[in-house]
Chains A and B, each alone.
Chain A
Amino acid sequence: MSESTGSESFATAWRFARRDLRGGFRGFAIMLACLALGVAAIAGIGSLTGMVRDGLARDARILLGGDLDIRVTGGPATDAQVKWMRERARVSLAVSMRAMASRPADAGPHQGRSRSLIELKAVDGAYPLLGSVILTPRMTLDAALKADASGIFGAAVERGLLARLGLKVGDAIAIGLARLTIRAEVENEPDKASGAFKLGPRVFISEAALARTGLVQPGSLIRWHYRLAYPPATDGAALEEALDAAFPEASWRVRNIAEATPRIQRYVDRAALFFTLVGLTTLLVGGVGVAGAVRGHLEAKRDTIATLKCLGARARFIFMVFGLEIALMAATGMVVGLGIGIVLPLALAPLLAQYLPVTAEFALQPLALAAAAVYGIAVAALFTLWPLAQARDVPAAALFRGLVGSARFRPRAGTLLALATAGLTIAALAVASAFRPSFALWFIAGAIVAFGVFTMAGNTFARLAARVARGLGAAGRPSPRLQLALANIARPGAPARAIVLALGIGLTVFVALAEIEGNFQRQLDSRIPEAAPAYFFVDIQPDQVAAFEKTVRGVPGAGDINRMPSLRGRIARANGTPIEQVTVGPSARWAVESDRGVTYAAAMPANTDIVAGEWWPADYKGPPLVSIDTRIAEGLGLGIGDSITINVLGRELTAKIANTRQIDWSQLGLNFTMIFAPGLLEGAPQTFIATVMATRQAEEKLAQAVTDSFGNVTAIRVREALEAAADALGKIGIAARLTAALALVSGILVLAGAVAAGRRERTRDAVILKITGARRRDLALAYVIEYGLIGLGAAVIAAILGTAAAFFVLTQVMEADWAFLPGPAIATLIGAAGAVIGFGFAGTWRALAQAPAQVLREAARG
């Protein structure tokens, strides 16, 4: 018999599929919803992050402040360096530092605080080279900052500072030794995203006004940013090379537009990865609903499939017909999802606007949409191929013999290959699109474990229910309602397995995120009064140390000063190799990106945790030694006895590594990544940094006493910094929980689908039970018990798995402290049981209301 006999072509299959779908898409509603939700989540997140990335790339020059940003610490660039720059580009200077601003004593009484930490930016007349600073009232920055007729300079400040100090435009403000007039509020700062983490509101002053403040002291933590804007057609790379060649010893850090906003790009990368993986979880959970819908549809088509086979349709044709139907439905769900994903950023972008330096302008993001579509296709394939393959193998003899399908289904090699391809596609896409592939790999491993655990749990749960039901009967303690509930859980085709699987995974994500976020909040909340100092005081000049300590001790409630010298240095070489040529591991990348604080000490600081090597003797006078953070040593591939070179103010200093330390930054104590042995750094310009413990009541007085006496000393209030972090964390937490809620919604959709699929059978059972004497109340109670047990079963496992996942992420990935918080677990238990009872009961309520005669008549008609 030749292969060409007949016409089982694609066109014929398509015709058959269309005919078969005439009955409508009703049975596919859950499938459409599950796929649409998951694809919408991934497409929406991808589109939004794509738009933000586009914005960062589009405005990179503005965000950087030019084509090149040369950041110098320890003092301004030399005249020769500036001359070199000016010969090649337009140049502007912005000097940034942290400082204290205060409400002048003669400004009258005020309820709030009189001083505030600020992010000071002193600019020249050319600033900004690109973009514009928008002020209220409208005026140029130059006009706002220049000195008036009486020689008083102006300042432009962020609104937050005015509120904090009870000031308004036109009032005076003191910064260091200078008294300035607030001339305007800052509405927009074009290059605000390129700087360091902000601890206070922005204040603009002029370069000339900075000189009046007296804040520029040797060793002060000040950054001179020289921004260069090239003439058109300049070869930027060549210019950077020429800069290096002209000033090989310079210790500046040069950034071009590709590195304009590293912090925000990292944040966007992390957020994109996290939210995409949660979106993928939503899609995978929805996959359970997809599989259920497809299985239900194909079960209903069993006779049609067998009939077509009797009429001569081959298995391949059957697969094609029903595969096309499923593909059409999946495509519809995905198109809806992609459509939502396209418009979702329109709704979310305004909410994010205040947190981002760029406008996320609406634009189609083809790559993000393609990724979401591929995820959708792969998940649809993963969850539909198995039931489709089962349908293909429905024997034609099924028409003659009722119970076919009792034989164990063995998929063909091609089906297994296709399933593996779908699974690997999801994994490969997740890994390839993750900025940190290992994280995606862990996610995939976790997803496989979760699916395995919940599948097993569902089966075990059903078997256990059957055993208990039998046991109750055998023990002579019949409990009809409980037995009915258990029998409903255990019977073949019961929704319990699908609900436990889908809802369980959704709940696991929810519990894990709630535990992680709760742990962070707990650490921030609980740590402040116990271990943390009240203030970090920075930029204390060496000649101010004695007076500073005396001032602090004079404040009742303040004490426990911990003080160390502070210098800035950039890691220049590892074992003599320039750092640019060293393959730096992830654990040390942050340390080589910019200059770090370094110090020196004879005695080992308290609470030091030496990992390897030994601390030097207190009277050590030998060759230079250094103690470094063990993570930096690992990342640079360095060990005890190796050398590390740091560039301090243009001078390279090399020391041997004497020991490595494990630093617990969460203790908020005074610590440095690099501590040198005495003898190397004493001569370099330096300041001191001090932490001071204080009672809460003494905090404000302490800041006032210190900053009144030392205008150049900046006070960083730990409580405020932590509150800012907690606030940011809270907002991230809300976003994370909202996204995780999508996975739960997906789980509830699966629940609804599974309950709906068994409604007919349940109605028939209810009628039979009514005929045998069961009251509606008995049946209702049995349903409540059934769904309550399913919900609790899923929730208990989800609480255990989610807590384990949170423990792993916190202790192994984030290296943070861990404590079990019972709140999320209990909330999950109650919420899940309630939700399953509610949705399950809503889905089966009608079964109770059916009149037996009507159901029996319908059953008789077949």
Chain B
Amino acid sequence: MIHLEDVRLKLQSRAGPVEILRGISIDVKDGEAVAVLGPSGSGKSTLLMVMAGLERPSEGRIAVRGTDLGALDEDALALFRRQHVGIVFQSFHLVASMTAIENVAVPLELAGHADAYPRARAALESVGLGHRLDHYPVEMSGGEQQRVAIARAFAPGPGLILADEPTGNLDSATGEQVIEILFRLHEKSGATLVLITHDERLAARCPRTIHIEDGRIAADRARAAQ
């Protein structure tokens, strides 16, 4: 599913060039759930951006579902994300001017699905928000907003879900609920899940955990049984 080969990323900052990823090589199988752990600034969010085709590595190769992302231009990458990737952000990033159902329908509409709205409705019902279809983000709690974001990520049926600290902006109880939903949908859809977190407890729910430190893989462990 995901193949990273000696991926390096160097960015310019005011203080000079900063090497954020320093030779990351990972393989993630179809349907696998992987937690990426690491302290702030270790490069884990950047790794997610690279996997989503949002950031181009300075060196190395990245292929997702057999597609070499380095060979795609910006527009092709956008199409690729539309077809294959769902992203859940720490800050939800719902479009403020759209209702819940409209937010969920966005990727479906972009993909040209005539049944975008029925599917969006079903997705929202699957996260327990069937009664909040026409509410705007500002009218919803943080947990509800994140559930809308999860529905949006899963609605088009992508093969890969990338979640960046999905509980980072939530209290622990709400976070628990959101994680339950995330894992339930992952299992139901069979999509590959890459979960960025610094929460060991949350990471423990994934069969495989990758530790990133200072842009390098410090550890890559698979649990035998959950």
Which residues of A pack against B, CB within 8 Å?
Answer: 1, 5-8, 12, 15-16, 19-23, 303-304, 306-317, 395-397, 399-400
From known contacts A314-B78, A399-B93, infer whether A5 and B109 are also in contact, taking CB-CB under 8 Å.
no
Q: Can you add 15 more A-B contacts, CB < 8 Å, to A5-B79, A7-B109?
A: A1-B80, A1-B83, A6-B112, A12-B110, A19-B98, A19-B102, A22-B97, A304-B96, A307-B94, A308-B95, A310-B52, A310-B87, A311-B81, A311-B106, A314-B74
B55 an interface residue at 8 Å Cβ cutoff? yes
Shortest C-beta distance, A474 to chain B (Å), equals 22
Q: B93-120: which have CB < 8 Å to A?
A: 93-98, 102, 106-107, 109-113
A396 contacts which chain B residues (CB < 8 A)?
Answer: 52, 54, 78
* Residue pair A313, B78 in contact (C-beta under 8 Å): yes
B205 an interface residue at 8 Å Cβ cutoff? no
B75 an interface residue at 8 Å Cβ cutoff? yes
* Residue pair B110, A303 in contact (C-beta under 8 Å): no
A304 contacts which chain B residues (CB < 8 A)?
Answer: 95-97
By beta carbon, the residue of chain B nearest A397 is B54
B144 an interface residue at 8 Å Cβ cutoff? no
* Residue pair A7, B81 in contact (C-beta under 8 Å): no
B2 an interface residue at 8 Å Cβ cutoff? no
Q: Which of B45, B46, B79 contacts A6 (CB 8 A)?
A: B79
A313 contacts which chain B residues (CB < 8 A)?
Answer: 78, 82, 110
A22 contacts which chain B residues (CB < 8 A)?
Answer: 97
A308 contacts which chain B residues (CB < 8 A)?
Answer: 95, 106, 110
B76 contacts which chain A residues (CB < 8 A)?
Answer: 1
B111 contacts which chain A residues (CB < 8 A)?
Answer: 5-7, 312
Interface size of B by Cβ–Cβ distance < 8 Å?
36
Query: What CA separation (Å) do A395 and B55 show in the bound complex?
Result: 9
B122 an interface residue at 8 Å Cβ cutoff? no
Query: What CA separation (Å) do A797 and B186 show in the bound complex?
Result: 65
* Residue pair B54, A395 in contact (C-beta under 8 Å): yes
From known contacts A315-B74, A316-B75, infer whether A7 and B112 are also in contact, taking CB-CB under 8 Å.
yes
What are 14 contact pairs spanning A and B, CB under 8 A?
Answer: A1-B72, A1-B79, A306-B93, A307-B95, A308-B95, A310-B54, A311-B81, A311-B82, A311-B87, A312-B107, A314-B75, A315-B74, A396-B54, A400-B46
Query: What CA separation (Å) do A15 and B116 show in the bound complex?
Result: 13
* Residue pair B110, A8 in contact (C-beta under 8 Å): yes
From known contacts A7-B110, A12-B109, infer whether A307 and B93 are also in contact, taking CB-CB under 8 Å.
yes
B55 contacts which chain A residues (CB < 8 A)?
Answer: 397
* Residue pair A311, B49 in contact (C-beta under 8 Å): no
B94 contacts which chain A residues (CB < 8 A)?
Answer: 307
Shortest C-beta distance, B42 to chain A (Å), equals 14
Query: What CA separation (Å) do A1 and B72 show in the bound complex?
Result: 10
Question: Which residue, of A5, A306, A308, A312, has the highest number of chain B Cβ atoms within 10 A?
Answer: A312
Shortest C-beta distance, B226 to chain A (Å), equals 29
B154 contacts which chain A residues (CB < 8 A)?
Answer: none
By beta carbon, the residue of chain A nearest B46 is A400
Q: Which of A8, A312, A314 contacts B83 (CB 8 A)?
A: A312
Query: What CA separation (Å) do A315 and B112 show in the bound complex?
Result: 17
* Residue pair B89, A314 in contact (C-beta under 8 Å): no
Q: Which of A1, A23, A311 contacts B97 (CB 8 A)?
A: A23
* Residue pair B164, A400 in contact (C-beta under 8 Å): yes
Shortest C-beta distance, A256 to chain B (Å), equals 64
Query: What CA separation (Å) do A317 and B107 show in the bound complex?
Result: 13
B121 an interface residue at 8 Å Cβ cutoff? no
Shortest C-beta distance, A20 to chain B (Å), equals 5
Question: What is the count of residue pairs linking A and B with beta-carbon distances less than 8 angstroms?
Answer: 97
Query: What CA separation (Å) do A311 and B102 show in the bound complex?
Result: 13
By beta carbon, the residue of chain A nearest B113 is A7
Query: What CA separation (Å) do A19 and B106 show in the bound complex?
Result: 11
* Residue pair A400, B49 in contact (C-beta under 8 Å): yes
Query: What CA separation (Å) do A29 and B107 show in the bound complex?
Result: 32
Q: Which of B91, B93, B96 contacts A310 (CB 8 A)?
A: B93
B8 contacts which chain A residues (CB < 8 A)?
Answer: none
Shortest C-beta distance, B26 to chain A (Å), equals 19
B147 an interface residue at 8 Å Cβ cutoff? no
Q: B173-188: which have CB < 8 Å to A?
A: none
Q: Which of B75, B83, B97 contacts A20 (CB 8 A)?
A: B97
A15 contacts which chain B residues (CB < 8 A)?
Answer: 109
From known contacts A7-B111, A399-B89, infer whether A19 and B78 are also in contact, taking CB-CB under 8 Å.
no
Shortest C-beta distance, B96 to chain A (Å), equals 7
B81 contacts which chain A residues (CB < 8 A)?
Answer: 310-312
Query: What CA separation (Å) do A307 and B81 show in the bound complex?
Result: 12
Shortest C-beta distance, B161 to chain A (Å), equals 13
* Residue pair A312, B97 in contact (C-beta under 8 Å): no
By beta carbon, the residue of chain B nearest A4 is B112
By beta carbon, the residue of chain A nearest B67 is A1
B83 contacts which chain A residues (CB < 8 A)?
Answer: 1, 5, 312
B79 contacts which chain A residues (CB < 8 A)?
Answer: 1, 5-6, 312, 314
Query: What CA separation (Å) do A6 and B81 show in the bound complex?
Result: 12
Q: B59-91: which have CB < 8 Å to A?
A: 72, 74-76, 78-83, 87, 89, 91
A21 contacts which chain B residues (CB < 8 A)?
Answer: 97
A-B complex: 10 closest residue pairs judged by Cβ atoms: A312-B82, A7-B112, A314-B75, A314-B78, A311-B107, A307-B93, A397-B54, A312-B81, A396-B54, A6-B112
Query: What CA separation (Å) do A19 and B102 show in the bound complex?
Result: 9
Query: What CA separation (Å) do A396 and B113 show in the bound complex?
Result: 23
From known contacts A7-B109, A311-B152, A313-B78, infer whether A400 and B45 are also in contact, taking CB-CB under 8 Å.
yes
* Residue pair B152, A315 in contact (C-beta under 8 Å): no
By beta carbon, the residue of chain A nearest B52 is A310
From known contacts A5-B83, A19-B98, A400-B45, infer whether A315 and B110 are also in contact, taking CB-CB under 8 Å.
no
B113 contacts which chain A residues (CB < 8 A)?
Answer: 7
Query: What CA separation (Å) do A316 and B80 show in the bound complex?
Result: 15
Query: What CA separation (Å) do A307 and B87 show in the bound complex?
Result: 10
By beta carbon, the residue of chain B nearest A1 is B79
Query: What CA separation (Å) do A315 and B75 show in the bound complex?
Result: 7
From known contacts A22-B97, A307-B95, A396-B54, infer whether A6 and B110 are also in contact, taking CB-CB under 8 Å.
yes
By beta carbon, the residue of chain B nearest A15 is B109
B72 contacts which chain A residues (CB < 8 A)?
Answer: 1
Shortest C-beta distance, B113 to chain A (Å), equals 8
B109 contacts which chain A residues (CB < 8 A)?
Answer: 7, 12, 15
Shortest C-beta distance, A187 to chain B (Å), equals 64
Query: What CA separation (Å) do A306 and B78 show in the bound complex?
Result: 11
A399 contacts which chain B residues (CB < 8 A)?
Answer: 89, 91, 93
A315 contacts which chain B residues (CB < 8 A)?
Answer: 74-75, 78
B52 contacts which chain A residues (CB < 8 A)?
Answer: 310, 396
By beta carbon, the residue of chain B nearest A862 is B91
B164 contacts which chain A residues (CB < 8 A)?
Answer: 400
* Residue pair A312, B78 in contact (C-beta under 8 Å): yes
B97 contacts which chain A residues (CB < 8 A)?
Answer: 19-23, 304
By beta carbon, the residue of chain A nearest B81 is A312
By beta carbon, the residue of chain B nearest A8 is B110
Query: What CA separation (Å) do A399 and B91 show in the bound complex?
Result: 9
By beta carbon, the residue of chain A nearest B109 is A12
Query: What CA separation (Å) do A304 and B96 show in the bound complex?
Result: 8
By beta carbon, the residue of chain B nearest A306 is B93
From known contacts A23-B97, A400-B164, infer whether A311 and B45 are also in contact, taking CB-CB under 8 Å.
no
Query: What CA separation (Å) do A360 and B109 show in the bound complex?
Result: 54
Shortest C-beta distance, B104 to chain A (Å), equals 10
Shortest C-beta distance, B194 to chain A (Å), equals 14
Query: What CA separation (Å) do A7 and B94 show in the bound complex?
Result: 20
Query: What CA separation (Å) do A12 and B102 show in the bound complex?
Result: 12
* Residue pair B82, A6 in contact (C-beta under 8 Å): yes
Question: Which residue, of B83, B102, B106, has the highest number of chain A Cβ atoms within 10 A?
Answer: B106
Query: What CA separation (Å) do A57 and B80 show in the bound complex?
Result: 65
Query: What CA separation (Å) do A213 and B94 show in the bound complex?
Result: 93
Q: B34-62: which have CB < 8 Å to A?
A: 45-46, 48-49, 52, 54-55
By beta carbon, the residue of chain A nearest B149 is A307
Query: What CA separation (Å) do A396 and B83 show in the bound complex?
Result: 16
Shortest C-beta distance, A298 to chain B (Å), equals 14
